[in-house]
Structure formats: C-alpha cells, structure tokens
Amino acid sequence: MDLTTKRIIVTGGAGFLGSHLVTRLRRAGCQHLVIPRSADFNLTREEEVRRLMEQVRPEVVIHLAATVGGIGANRKHPALFLYNNLVMGTHLIEQSYRHGVSKFVMVGTICSYPKHTPVPFKESDLWNGYPEETNAPYGLAKKLLLVQLQAYRQEYGFNGVNLLPVNLYGPGDNFDPESSHVIPALIKKFLEAKARGDRAVTLWGTGKPTREFLYVEDAARAIHLATEKLETSDPVNIGSGSEISIHDLARKIAAITGFKGEIRLDPSQPDGQPRRCLDVTRARELLGFQASTSLDEGLEKTIDWYCSTLPARDAAAA
C-alpha cells in the first residue's frame, strides 16, 4: 500500500509512540495525517468516533491511543484500563468498517500473553493461559480487539492487522512516577538519588523477572512497515528478540546515570510476569523488520533526552 496519498488517522498520534510514528510518516511523504485530540474527540464514545470518521473519511486508521501504565497504575486502575482500552478499540473498529476504511492497524500489547508462556513467546501461544494478574484487564481488553478484527475479516472481509509490541522506551517517554513503565521509572529514580547523594535505591520485587525492550523509533518503523505490507489479522510480535533481568537493567541504568550507591530489592512488592521475550520470526519474514538499536545505545539516547529536559521541567515546577 502506498501511504503517501492516503488519508490516515493516527489515534494517540500526539503521544509517546505516536509522535515518533507521525514524524516517520511525514518524512516518508504522507501528506494527509489526522491526529485526533482527546479534547475534540472522546474515543470511548461511539457517537464521537462516528463524528471523527464522518469528518475525516479516512482510508487508513492506525490505532495507538491507549490507557497505559506500569504495575502500580495497573493495580490501581484495573477497571479503567479494561474499559477505556476495550471500548476505544471496539468503536474504532466498528466505525472504520462502516465507513469503508481500507486498512486498520491495531497495536496491541505483550501483556496479552499468558503469565507462564514459554520463552521466547510465539504468537501461537497467545491463547494457552490467563495473563499475568497485575495487568490482565489491560491485556485482555487488547486481546479481545484482536479477536474482533479477526472476526470482521472473516465475516466482512475487513482488512485489519494486529501487532504485539514489547515494552517500548526512548525520548519522549512518560516519566510520571504514578504511571511510568520500568525504564523511565528507573532513570528518574537513579538520577534523583544521585542528585540527593543517596547511598541506596530500592526497587520493587526480586529483580529476577526478565523483560524485552524495543527502542521507540524501531517500533515506529515496524508499524510503518506493517501498514504498508501486512495483510493478515493473525498477530505479529514486534520486539528486539532479547531479554534482560530487571536487576541487570537497573545496574545498567545506574552505570549510565552515574549513580554509585547500592541497589536494594523489595521482594514484598510484586514482580509481574516472570519472563518476557518474543519470537520475532514472523516480523522478520512478513515485514522485513529487525530491531536496529541496541539496549545500551537506546538507554543512552533516552537518558540524554531526559536530562536535556530537566532545566525546563524545574522551571515549570517553580
């Protein structure tokens, strides 16, 4: 699909991943991009999604908008995470079908996988158990949208595709301690501890769980490729294909930020899913996608970006 002349809606296009994707699409020559803002369109309300479709008449919809957060946010707001993500996606898929959208790109989550999925996670393992409890409502909401797109392809011939990205990170990430994911949370924690002269930093859990991370610009490239090339509603993993323990990740971030103190663990707090690492064979075969940014390089870029924003943040806080 040649995207340069298509009318494209990118939900969540002003957010972390969305802003990188929109920049990439514009550089590729896409001339008709629409980024709906929540102040103008509440995507949890069907009548407002319908109004968006009638105004824009899109040919392609890339759905990135989501209510997301780390373990703490998922534990605090399980109902909100389930409801918002489910109804946003459901209304967008239904109204996209009704308004003749040529392609719908659904960006799901690795949290949809069962808690004890064998590593590396294969797309065929997606239905072999219940997701990890702390983020199951969010993961199940996204999982049902995958089913919806498969059902719409089967009954209506609607062209919807499903991507399952791992944890993303990079410049522009969310550093709010109430809702951030692990990498921005650790960066902020170590930098603040260093500035205060703290002798130790305490992390939630045992530090043993592993995670896979993908630099945000690599994720944007994968979504761009999928929008152009992918023609199946079966899920496709998007990741780097390598894992690291939370404790080792913390040591790596501490070294880059220059924190010299002790890293303590609090096993009374939840670990989340024991391991996360994807089999990315299908992405390589169907999209020609392979991650190109190493974790060390990506962390350095992310930390440099965050440090460059600190004077502005301090001024805003004052």
Residue reference for tokens 């609090």:
266
Nearest in space to 61 (alpha carbons), one of 38, 83, 34? 34
Quote the Cα angle for 194-195-201, to 5°: 35
**Alpha-carbon span 80 to 82, nearest angstrom:** 5
Write out the H or E segment, with its range, that includes residue 308.
Answer: helix 295-317
Q: What is the CA radius of gyration of the chain?
A: 19
Q: Of how many residues is the chain composed?
A: 318
Nearest in space to 17 (alpha carbons), one of 220, 240, 236, 302? 220
Q: Is 138 a catalytic residue?
A: yes
Q: 237 pairs with which residues across the strands? A: 164
Contacts of 304 (CB under 8 A, 6+ apart): none
- Listed in sequence order, the DSSP H helices in 134-288 are 136-156, 182-196, 216-229, 246-257, 281-287
Residue reference for tokens 């075969």:
285
Quick one: tokens of 117? Answer: 């999925």
- Out of 97, 113, 138, 306, the active site residue is 138
Active-site residues: which are they? 138
